[in-house]
Amino acid sequence: MTLPEMSLRFTLSHPAVSTTIVGMRDPEHVRQNVAASDAGPLDAGLLAELKKHRWTASRSGGRTNLVYGRPII
The pLDDT tens digits for 5-43 are 998 998 899 888 888 888 888 999 999 999 999 998 999
**Banded pLDDT at 60 (limits 50, 70, 90):** low
SS3 71: strand
| Burial class of residue 33, CB neighbours in 10 A (0-12, 13-18, 19+) | middle
Determine if the pTM surpasses 0.95: no
Q: Is the pLDDT of residue 72 over 50?
A: no
Cα 43 to the chain's mean position, in Å? 13
User: Distance between CA 66 and CA 45 in Å, rounded?
Assistant: 21
Per-residue pLDDT, averaged over 32-55, amounts to 88
